[in-house]
């Protein structure tokens, strides 16, 4: 990477939806957790946002794989 800047999961270099789809395609059954979450004075809120966003992407990837 040219420059590292800690950012929220929806604003970084990685397309997290593509990551979730790839994990689903290989039937990954482990855990996915954020390594770092940006600060800003509200660590609980920042963590809740990040985890909720990741769970929503997981659910969307799972729904896209179901037939019909």
pLDDT, the chain, mean: 89
pLDDT above 70 for 16: yes
- The per-residue pLDDT for 40 is 79
What is the value of pTM for the model shown? 0.81
- The per-residue pLDDT for 21 is 95
- The per-residue pLDDT for 55 is 95
49 class by beta-carbon count within 10 Å (0-12 exposed, 13-18 middle, 19+ buried):
middle
- Which two three-digit tokens encode residue 46? 């920042």
DSSP of 13-60: SS-HHHHHHHHHHTT--S----S----SS-HHHHHHHHHHHHHHHHHH
Range 28-40 average pLDDT: 88
């Amino acid at each position: 990477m040219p420059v590292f800047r800690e950012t929220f999961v929806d604003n970084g270099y990685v397309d997290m939806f593509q990551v979730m789809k790839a994990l689903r395609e290989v039937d990954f059954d482990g855990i996915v957790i954020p390594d770092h979450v940006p600060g800003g004075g509200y660590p609980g809120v920042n963590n809740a946002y990040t985890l909720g966003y990741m769970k929503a992407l997981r659910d969307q990837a799972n729904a896209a794989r179901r037939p019909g």
